[in-house]
Amino acid sequence: MSDTIFGKISRGEIPADIVYQDEDVVAFRDLNPQAPTHVLLIPRKPIPTLNALEADDALLVGRLFLAARKIAEQEGIAAAGYRTVINCNAAAGQTVFHLHLHLLGGRPMRWPPG
Ligand code: DGP
Sign for the pseudo-dihedral over CA of 11, 98, 16, 105: negative
Nearest CA to ligand 1 atom 23: 31
Return the ∠ at Cα 47 (arms to 39 and 28), rounded to 5°.
Answer: 15
Q: What residues contact 75, with CB distance under 8 A and at least 6 apart?
A: 19, 37, 39, 105, 106
Residue 64 host element (H or E): helix 58-75
- List the catalytic residue out of 38, 98, 100, 102: 100
Specify the pLDDT at position 114: 84
Mean pLDDT of 28-56: 98
Mean pLDDT of 25-36: 98
Full-model pTM: 0.98
The CATH label, of 3.30.390.30, 3.90.1170.50, 3.40.50.150, 3.30.428.10, for the domain at 5-105 is: 3.30.428.10
Indicate whether 85 pLDDT > 60.
Answer: yes
Rounded to an integer, what is the distance from CA 60 to the centroid of its chain? 13
Cβ–ligand 1 distance for 32 under 6 Å, the answer: yes
Max CA pair span of the chain: 39
Indicate whether 1 pLDDT > 70.
Answer: no
Q: Mean pLDDT of all residues in the chain?
A: 97
Cβ–ligand 1 distance for 96 under 6 Å, the answer: yes
